Chain A
Amino acid sequence: MAQNEMAMQFDSRSSNEGFARVVAGAFALQLNPTLEELSDIKTAVSEAVTNAIIHGYPGRIGRVEMRARIDGRVFEVIIADRGVGIEDVAKAREPLFTTGYGAERSGMGFTMMETFMDELEVESAPGQGTTVRMLKRIGREKDPEKVR
């Protein structure tokens, strides 16, 4: 599979969290990933979509966009919302940071994304929404720093 792309939009309803990660996983299957690689992608997508739903559109339903791309052995996924945005992205990415919005957030969403994917970029501005771009190389020797 040299190149392929997909895009979809869905309501920021929590029932779509499972839907989004299954779609991302199914799309990534074209790269013949290991079970671990597949579950890494599904976990990271679940975290990004959950963030968009809880923090992007608190108290209302908005649109979440997911785009995925395969290029060679690289899987790229973008999760974007047009919601409230993040004031301080660096702080939001710190492990255990949580706004406290919603009960018992662990504050580990970005940590999960960083750990399970090879690259993570977050672009956000208050009132403009948030775009999370993640990348994973499939079928290569794992970075020894990464969690098994």
Chain B
Amino acid sequence: MVLKNRRQGSRLTVHLSGELDHHCAKKVRQEMDRLLADTAIKELVLDLRGLEFMDSSGIGVLMGRYRTLSKRGGKMRVRNLSGQVERVFNVSGLYRIIDM
């Protein structure tokens, strides 16, 4: 699992690549929370182009970060989902609350 980020004003873009399962969830959660500790960040964009696998543990990570952003009146967007990741995302119903 590789996590890269880019900051543009109040927007933080995080690129996730590799596989996001329970094994990697803790590391991703901690790294994203470290970045989101800066409360000036109001928009989180998750770019999942390089993400090859995600299961419901990954959904848990996304939901948690969504809550963090919501609490500060911010928003979260997810982009470049494909294949297996998109199928899991669709089943989770997350597309109802997260902008694509």
- Interface residues of chain A, those whose CB is within 8 Å of chain B, are 14-15, 17-18, 21, 35-36, 39-40, 42-43, 46-47, 50, 53-54, 102-109, 111-112, 115-116, 147-148
Contact = CB atoms under 8 A, between A and B. Distances in A.
B84 A43 contact: yes
B87 A46 contact: no
Contact of B87 (A15, A104, A147): A147
B92 interface: yes
A14 B92 contact: no
A18 B56 CA distance: 14
A130 to B, nearest CB: 16
Nearest to A115: B91
10 contacts: A17-B22, A39-B83, A39-B87, A43-B53, A46-B21, A103-B29, A104-B64, A105-B56, A107-B56, A111-B91
Chain A: interface secondary structure?
helix
B30 to A, nearest CB: 10
Interface residues of B, number: 23
Nearest to B18: A18
Given A105-B56, A105-B57, 18 more contacts: A17-B22, A17-B23, A18-B21, A21-B53, A39-B53, A39-B87, A40-B87, A43-B53, A43-B84, A46-B21, A47-B55, A47-B56, A50-B57, A106-B56, A108-B91, A115-B91, A116-B87, A147-B90
B84 A39 contact: yes
Contacts, number: 77
A133 to B, nearest CB: 19
B86 to A, nearest CB: 10
Contact of B91 (A36, A103, A112): A112
Contacts of B55: 43, 46-47, 50, 109, 112
Contact of A50 (B22, B53, B87): B22
A56 B23 CA distance: 16
A47 to B, nearest CB: 6
A108 B56 CA distance: 6
Given A43-B84, A106-B56, A112-B56, A147 B21 contact: no
B91 A50 contact: no
